[in-house]
Amino acid sequence: MKLEDMSARLRGLVVFRGILKAEIVARFRRLLETVNGAQGIEAAAEFENLLLEQGGDWTAALLDVILEDENLCIRRAADGGAGPIASACMDRELAFLEQLGGLTLDDVTGGNPAYDFLPRWATHPADFAAAYAARLAEVGEKGYGMFARYHVFTVQDGELVPVRYPDPQRLEELPGYEQEREKIIANTKALLAGLPANNVLLYGDAGTGKSSSVKAIANAFASQGLRLVEVKKNQLYQIPALMDTLARNPLKFILFIDDLSFSSNDDNFAALKAILEGSVGGRSQNIAVYATSNRRHLIKETMTDRSGDDIHEADTRQELMSLSARFGLTVTFQRPDKARYEAILLDLARQYRVQMPADQLYLKGEAFALRAGGRSPRVAKQFVELLAGGVAL
């Protein structure tokens, strides 16, 4: 196939049209279009500059872009496919892209000696159709588009934005609350398996690892198709529309609301109720809400509220108190007693390779906790990190 024809085929992609937005593809396209002109060498250098950052193998770079592309065929893979016309188009485009991914610099330039000083990028034989068929088969675990590249997201203006460098918290780094976390893990496994899963409220004292537990669970099950969406309280009104979009996604999602509480006249209260209860079509089976709070009753209520002029004051108070009940699973993280605190200290000292006799570790750790306002896993970690850093205590 001539370069002019390849350039036209690339511009005319239908199913994989999204890959044209990828920078590596855009630079290769410019090279094809300018190789016989004055800007050809510059286009080749710009393409190779980016390709070297991605490993230097053009076949691998193009295949990675294709496998992560969000398109009609992969979106409908879990629902029986996109139909015969789209599938046939996909097959033709994969065959063309496989040919494109095998082009070397000499293939593109026709052996023009003006390009001899440039490095030669690598290519390798690859079956794009087989690789993509495997990708379609595992879409429920790896997702597509940005969901294939990232597993933690935030919300901006009602749209999901990926977190490029999420907290790398691991479950094994959080000693002392394994029994509490086991309930949350079991619920998460049910969500991943497509079984009925509850919304979860992690309630308890500050510094006991509630938020860290949710993040660690998201990291642990990301390879099995779990994605975490962190939502701020003032964004709750934006979530119902987002949930309708996520409901069609083959992956499973945790909507994570950290440090949740409301005042009695907070408009976000109604928004959260709607999220927990679902739309008229019912709550989506691939989404669960995990929230943390230092308050068992999520509504801040004063004595003035109880002695106000509300005629149906009892009904109003019942409505406010009922929000916590909409979380099917409530897990309590209590401040550790002395024995649990010492066990946490010992485990963290092992993780950080702190060499100190256990009795001294307990004694100094307890003294540090008194100065810090009480025992907690957070305090224990701060103490051990100071020891590991050589700070005299």
Q: Are 75 and 144 in contact (CB under 8 A)?
A: yes
Q: What is the mean pLDDT of residues 73-95?
A: 90
The rounded distance, in Å, linking the Cα atoms of 59 and 125 is 8
* pLDDT at residue 95 tops 90: yes
Please answer whether residues 295 and 262 qualify as being in contact, where contact means their C-beta atoms are separated by less than 8 angstroms: no
Cα R_g (the chain), whole angstroms: 27
Residue 292's beta-bridge partner residues?
202
Q: Which residue has the higher pLDDT, 279 or 34?
A: 34
pTM of the model: 0.82
For residue 204, which of 133, 294, 143 has the smallest C-alpha distance?
294
If one compares 376 and 261, the residue with the highest pLDDT of the two is 376
| pLDDT beyond 60 at 307 | no
Cβ atoms of 58 and 123 closer than 8 Å: yes
What would the DSSP string read from start to end of 263-309?
Answer: ETT-THHHHHHHHHH-BTTB--TTEEEEEEES-SS-EE--HHHHTS-
Task: Give the phi and the psi of residue 152 in degrees, each rounded to 5.
Answer: -125, 135
User: Which residues, in sequence order, are CB contacts of 278 under 8 Å at separation 6+?
Assistant: 284
Convert the pLDDT of each residue in 4-63 to its tens digit: 899 999 999 999 999 999 999 999 999 999 999 999 999 999 999 999 999 999 999 999
Amino acid at 371: R
List, for residues 177-191, the tens digit of each pLDDT value: 999 999 999 999 999
The answer to whether the beta carbons of residues 344 and 380 sit under 8 Å apart is yes
